[in-house]
Amino acid sequence: MPARRLLYLSGTRADFGLLERTLVAVNATPGLEVQVAVTGTHLSDTHGRTVDEVRASGLRVCAEVPVDVLTRTGASMALAIADVVRGLVPVLERERPDAVLVLGDRGEMLAAALAALHVGIPCVHIHGGERSGTVDEPVRHAISKLASYHFVATGAARERLVRMGEAEDRIFVTGAPGLDGLVALGDVPREQALQQLQMPDVGEFVLALFHPVVQEAGDAAAQARNLLQALRAVGLPVLWMDPNADAGSRQILDALDDGTLPAGSRRCTHLARPLFCAALRHCAVLVGNSSSGIIEAASFGTPVVNIGSRQHLREHGPNVVDVPVDAAAIEEAVRKQVVHGRWPWENPWGDGQASGRITRLLSTIALDGSVLGKTNSY
């Protein structure tokens, strides 16, 4: 029997980092093959050209679909969805995978799900059924309505999909795949990690990841300035990772260029996942609005200050404190989290064993034309 051929679309350092371990495990399983189509910031020199990391994983890159990631407006984001559909359709027709895999809530994932449905290929959606702010919330649910199967991270996510009318026998709780091997990846001695991160080798440091909220793109510069003000008041060195390419990211970068960070701070475009995990483990607190603070940080007990509406209503553990985009509120929360220190391990997003569950499911679920037909369950 020929192997099942699976195609994953990846658009950012973030989504590939979360799923890399699972994709490699699936590809190593007899009867399964994985290839990756890359798009988005993977192909941008400005963002570190991380397609090289995809290739370094040993997975076959079957196509590159370039899109505009430098204009950084809502309009350019919408046009990028169209460009991914246009670029991916001939890839799907040429490769004819048995299923397309997508993760999360990005526009390129929506494009892949839309293209797959129209050329008759089942789509498997990972991390559906969750809640959040910005455009991610409606895009995530739109992908779920286009997908044939759902591999969700939590029981609550499963229940939301059921209430959305998705068939219960096509929804599987696997846990978050980004937790698989996470603790081992971050298991680097502190001195070594600080040296690799090019951070001061004494004292604590703050890890900052602050992305724009698309609907609030006009406020992005002011929000970044509020965060900078709070971090200067706290005074700890900051390792600041530049934002994604969404609308408003240029304004954040401009605010950073015009502002200052505390002494000993460093900005970086990209960290390889092992180094990012080491930073997540050893920082005193993660500040910003990244899903890594919601999902991954709990596995290290890392204190998190989650800012603004980007992760609105996301499930999270007690290590996360939600605050508005207000300098005084951010400063107070950061100081309290630094004083508190590590939280007991408690991660509601899974047990770090998602790869095995996903691999077994991809080996056994039906992937014939019958799963393309969908009707609401009510």
Which residues, other chains included, contact 77 with Cβ-Cβ below 8 Å and sequence gap of 6+? 107, 135, 214, 246, 247
Q: Across residues 202-216, what is the average pLDDT?
A: 95
Model pLDDT, residue 134: 83
Q: Is residue 31 a contact partner of residue 234, using CB atoms and an 8 Å limit? A: no
What fold characterizes domain 184-340? Rossmann fold (3.40.50)
- How does strand 285-288 pair with strand 99-103? unpaired
Model pLDDT, residue 377: 87
Read off the pLDDT of residues 23-75 as tens digits, 9 standing for 90 and up.
999 999 999 999 999 999 999 999 999 999 999 999 999 999 999 999 999 99
Model pLDDT, residue 222: 98
In the block, residue with structure tokens 């990209």? 270
Q: Across residues 271-299, what is the average pLDDT?
A: 96
**Where are the alpha helices (H) located in the chain, listed in sequence order?**
13-27, 51-56, 74-95, 107-118, 136-146, 155-163, 182-185, 190-197, 220-234, 249-258, 273-282, 291-295, 327-340, 354-364
Model pLDDT, residue 1: 76
133 band by pLDDT with thresholds 50, 70 and 90: confident
3-state secondary structure 28-58: CCCCEEEEEEEEHHHHCHHHCCCHHHHHHCC
What fold characterizes domain 4-180+352-372? Rossmann fold (3.40.50)
Specify the pTM.
0.95
Which residues, other chains included, contact 370 with Cβ-Cβ below 8 Å and sequence gap of 6+? none
Model pLDDT, residue 2: 87
DSSP code, position 213: P
Q: Across residues 102-124, what is the average pLDDT?
A: 97
Q: Across residues 2-14, what is the average pLDDT?
A: 96
Model pLDDT, residue 200: 95
Positions of CATH 3.40.50.2000 in the chain:
4-180+352-372, 184-340
Which residues, other chains included, contact 160 with Cβ-Cβ below 8 Å and sequence gap of 6+? 129, 130, 131
Q: Is residue 124 a contact partner of residue 101, using CB atoms and an 8 Å limit? A: yes
Model pLDDT, residue 202: 85
pLDDT over threshold 80, residue 355 = yes
